[in-house]
């Protein structure tokens, strides 16, 4: 690439904060952090590839800054860092490598020649820096204008009313027939009226988007022609990924449009964010941004200069570093403030509580900075409470302001419906997991309950496969978990056996109904309601094709499952007692009965001995709705009917005696998983004490009227 002579125009010092590139005083103020650099140049790249280098001579608080006159929004740029090159200490200053601004709000292009991005020659620890200029082989930062379109009024849905719907921006609409082809797989595709209508009719209150921060796939994937489809390979934490824009360069505007369209119908936007590692991988990986700027300030490094890896992704961002704490909170505030985002789900969140990859501390610097921030503390904060190590498994271990993906809920419910466990742990999961969240005064909605997620089997595959089938990933089946807790119902994969197909559909309905009727915050996965399959692949992270995309074909199975899910969400929405904001505690209510009673199939309350019967496959759960403790938006208590939930995971039918009259004048069936649409075939009210027969592997919900 042609390079003009180094130019040093008269530039103003400007201020060190905020970091990034900001138009002001007839130019642009650039500010970038590096405590190890001896000099930093901002490199302005023209459309023909010519580079103009300007030194940022001002150095305040470890930040290099200055106002370059004549620069305007749309200018492409990067940084070159001069200083020591000592890989043994983790210091990797190499001015031959053009670096992306960690605070860039737009990033254009991608890596085109991975070899040019390496900052070393031969063996890394030989300490020989590469002199190959990476300009032309790496992404570039872009100066953006401040402000933008309004993202609408925030829905501010209470957590106890929240139903989360996890989706992939590209995969959700890539095959949607009503979305214009150019908008499929984009932010505008998600904002399309037909797509928004589907979400509204389904009844979800929040979409949780898989990572939308700027993505750059790992070298190993690039070498084999694959990509990180899921997006857990972040290059920039401030820039929306340009691959999800229908018009590259307008990703910020289109992102805002998407948020506004969802807010207009009362749906919140939650982002899955990856502040635990970056796309630069291990020590031998590319130097694209953080590594070349100041690796010791961003990453956890060992005494040999190599990256410590507790994420399984090659490197670990140091959650105890002021540089990282500042970057993460600045990034979150940008998306919550200027882009209108309502909440965040933190990938491998245990890493955020392990400064220098040490022991987990729920009050670690980064976690504390997030929950005490005046903007972020008002957002929905969801943690994935584990990392790639045993020390990092912290379900139930975060501080009160956090909600958590409850992996124990997933495992217990899967195990119960495949007939592998009794009912003791199931009772905790149905009632909000008080054993995990009550001790530090959290609410039941702190438990984000889920059966499936992007990582693992789809709902359909969970009842169709016993084992993963990941051959298409190109890793000879080594990737993906073997702990699926799945049951194929009698045949592995696709079959035409009608009995097996009927059993699979019923099992799926059992799982979905259990999820949506449990106390806590339910999370569904996009496409499960449309009976989506990945062919048994439980780790389709690199498959940007029909395996991962949601199918919108209208077939009977998809329509039946969609109708069923809508019906159960509707029941939950209309029944405050089924989504209470406080834990059950056995308190007497105005009915004279405890707020929650567990029943055996003979109609008698469970005894202590009954809970330890590992062969038990049936359970009744009665919830008193007379004092549900749910409230209106104005804070007034809302009364409800009482409810009786019957679950039977046995392989044979079983008799169940309904409770006595003090629990209900009659019991009206309102949900039956034996029916494709969930509507009971015999909805007539039943008398107290009546004996009914529960078919094999079935769930029945009855309204107990008084």
- Three-state secondary structure call for residue 701: strand
Q: Considering 272, 318, 384, 461, which one is annotated as catalytic?
A: 384
Query: Which among 497, 479, 308, 489 has a CA at the least distance from the CA of 387?
Result: 308
Lookup result for tokens 């150019």? 182
Sign of CA dihedral 132, 136, 137, 140: positive
**Residue 643 backbone phi and psi in degrees, to 5:** -135, 145
Residue 502 makes CB contacts below 8 A (sequence gap 6+) with: none
**64 secondary structure, DSSP code:** E
The first and second tokens of residue 323, run together, are: 């540089």
Is there a catalytic annotation at residue 666? no
Lookup result for tokens 């994969």? 493
H-run or E-run covering 694: strand 691-694
Task: Measure Cα distances from 191 to 184, 267, 524, 541, 546 in Å.
Answer: 10, 11, 19, 24, 21
* Under 8 Å between Cβ of 233 and 279: yes
Q: How far apart are CA 590 and CA 677, in angstroms?
A: 35
Is there a catalytic annotation at residue 208? no
Lookup result for tokens 């590692």? 277
Q: Considering 347, 461, 528, 529, which one is annotated as catalytic?
A: 347
* Under 8 Å between Cβ of 108 and 249: yes
- Cα of 143 vs its chain's centroid, Å: 29
- Cα of 188 vs its chain's centroid, Å: 20
> How many Cα atoms occupy the beta-carbon half-sphere of 213 within 13 Å?
28
| Catalytic residue IDs | 347, 384
């Amino acid at each position: 690439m042609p390079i003009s002579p180094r130019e040093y125009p008269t530039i103003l010092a400007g201020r060190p904060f905020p970091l990034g590139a900001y138009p002001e005083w007839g130019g642009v103020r650039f500010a970038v952090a590096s405590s190890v650099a001896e000099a930093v140049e901002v490199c302005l790249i023209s459309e023909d590839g010519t580079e103009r280098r300007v030194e940022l001579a001002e150095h305040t608080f470890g930040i290099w800054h200055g106002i370059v006159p004549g620069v305007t929004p749309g200018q492409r740029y990067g940084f070159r860092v001069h200083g020591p090159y000592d890989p043994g200490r983790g210091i990797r200053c190499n001015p031959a490598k053009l670096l992306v601004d960690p605070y860039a709000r737009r990033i254009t292009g991608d890596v085109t020649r991975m070899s040019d991005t390496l900052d070393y020659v031969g063996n890394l620890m030989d300490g020989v820096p590469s002199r190959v200029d990476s300009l032309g082989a790496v992404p570039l930062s872009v100066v953006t204008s401040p402000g933008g379109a309004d993202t609408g009024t925030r829905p501010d849905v209470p957590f106890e009313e929240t139903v989360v719907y996890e989706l992939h921006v590209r995969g959700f609409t890539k095959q949607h027939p009503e979305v214009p082809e150019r908008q499929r797989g984009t932010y505008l595709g998600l904002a399309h009226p037909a797509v928004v209508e589907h979400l509204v009719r389904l009844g979800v209150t929040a979409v949780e988007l898989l990572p939308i921060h700027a993505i750059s796939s790992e070298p190993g994937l690039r070498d084999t022609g694959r990509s990180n489809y899921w997006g857990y390979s972040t290059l920039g934490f401030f820039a929306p990924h340009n691959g999800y824009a229908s018009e590259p360069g307008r990703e910020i505007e289109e992102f805002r449009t998407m948020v506004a369209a969802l807010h207009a119908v009362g749906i919140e936007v939650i982002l899955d964010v990856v502040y635990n590692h970056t796309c630069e991988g291990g020590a031998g990986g590319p130097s694209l941004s953080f590594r070349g700027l100041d690796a010791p300030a961003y990453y956890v490094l060992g005494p040999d200069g190599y990256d410590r890896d507790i994420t399984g992704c090659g490197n670990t961002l140091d959650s105890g570093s002021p540089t990282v704490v500042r970057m993460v909170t600045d990034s979150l505030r940008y998306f919550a403030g200027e882009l209108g985002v309502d909440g965040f789900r933190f990938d491998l969140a245990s890493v955020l509580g392990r400064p220098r990859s040490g022991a987990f501390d729920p009050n670690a610097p980064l976690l504390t900075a997030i929950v005490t921030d005046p903007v972020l503390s008002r957002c929905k904060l969801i943690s994935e409470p584990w990392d790639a190590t045993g020390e990092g498994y912290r379900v139930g271990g975060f501080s009160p302001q956090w909600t958590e993906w409850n992996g124990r809920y997933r495992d217990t419910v899967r195990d119960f419906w495949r007939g592998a466990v009794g009912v003791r742990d199931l009772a905790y999961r149905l009632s909000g997991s008080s054993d995990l969240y009550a001790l530090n005064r959290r609410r039941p909605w702190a438990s984000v309950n889920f059966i499936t997620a992007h990582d693992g089997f789809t709902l359909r595959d969970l009842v169709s496969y016993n084992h993963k089938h990941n051959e298409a990933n190109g890793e000879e089946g080594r990737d993906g978990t073997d702990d699926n807790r799945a049951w194929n119902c009698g045949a592995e994969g696709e079959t035409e056996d009608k009995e097996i197909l009927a059993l699979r559909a019923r099992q799926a309905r059992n799982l979905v109904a259990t999820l949506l009727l449990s106390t806590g915050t339910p999370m569904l996965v996009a496409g499960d309601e449309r009976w989506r399959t990945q062919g048994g692949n439980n780790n389709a992270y690199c498959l940007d094709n029909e395996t991962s995309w949601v199918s919108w074909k209208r077939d009977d199975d998809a329509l039946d499952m969609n109708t069923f899910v809508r019906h159960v969400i509707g029941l939950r929405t209309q029944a405050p007692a089924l989504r209470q904001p406080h834990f059950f505690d056995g308190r007497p209510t105005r009915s004279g009965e405890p707020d929650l009673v567990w029943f055996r199939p003979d109609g008698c309350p469970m005894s202590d001995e009954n809970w330890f019967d590992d062969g038990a496959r049936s359970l009744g759960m009665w919830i008193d709705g007379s004092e549900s403790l749910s409230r209106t938006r104005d804070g007034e208590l809302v009364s409800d009917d009482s409810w009786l939930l019957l679950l039977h995971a046995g392989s044979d039918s079983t008799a169940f005696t309904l409770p006595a009259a003090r629990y209900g004048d009659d019991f009206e069936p309102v949900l039956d998983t034996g029916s494709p649409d969930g509507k009971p075939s015999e909805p007539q009210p039943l008398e107290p004490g009546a004996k009914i027969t529960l078919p094999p592997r079935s769930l029945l919900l009855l309204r107990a009227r008084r």
